[in-house]
């Protein structure tokens, strides 16, 4: 019987990572990092890779919808953090069993509900 898997990992400047780079990779998109006092501007392009099964930015209702854009969201986060060793984001990887009884749409809804309840609303 297959089991699910979850992993939480911080995106740390001290490890040379950026939220823009991580988001570009996860979404398989092109994201321009505007740079900070600690890192030079750079364009991350993972659009040539196979698309993920599903990707979406979930926001609380009171947040400006412009933050649905990965580039705007993560460059804003990078600008707000002002330490060279900041943890600018957290990545959660969820792997659900490949169960034929549960449809892909149901799996997406399950994960969205979990993320909204445990992260977005807080």
Helix axes 70-80, 19-27, angle to 10 degrees: 160
Q: Which helix (H) or strand (E) holds 12?
A: strand 5-12
* Best CA proximity match to 34, nearest among 73, 68, 84: 73
Looking at the DSSP bridge assignments, the partners of residue 95 are: 5
Distance of CA 62 to the CA centre of its chain: 20
pLDDT at 68 over 80: yes
Contact (Cβ atoms closer than 8 angstroms) between residue 97 and residue 4? yes
Q: What is the pLDDT of residues 13-55, one digit of tens each?
A: 999 999 999 999 999 999 999 999 999 999 999 999 999 989 9
Q: What is the mean pLDDT of residues 66-94?
A: 94
pLDDT value for 2:
65
pTM, two decimal places: 0.88
Q: What is the pLDDT of residues 106-116, one digit of tens each?
A: 999 999 999 99
């Amino acid at each position: 019987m297959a089991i699910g898997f979850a992993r939480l990992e911080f995106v740390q400047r001290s490890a040379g990572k950026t939220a823009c780079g991580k988001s570009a990779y996860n979404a398989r998109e092109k994201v321009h990092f505007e740079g900070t006092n600690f890192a030079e501007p750079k364009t991350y392009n993972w659009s040539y890779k196979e698309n993920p099964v599903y990707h979406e930015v979930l926001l609380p209702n009171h947040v400006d919808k412009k933050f649905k854009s990965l580039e705007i969201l993560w460059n804003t986060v990078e600008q707000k953090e002002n330490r060279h060793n900041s943890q600018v984001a957290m990545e959660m990887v969820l792997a659900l069993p490949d169960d034929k009884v549960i449809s892909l749409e149901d799996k997406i809804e399950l994960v969205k509900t979990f993320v909204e309840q445990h992260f977005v609303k807080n």
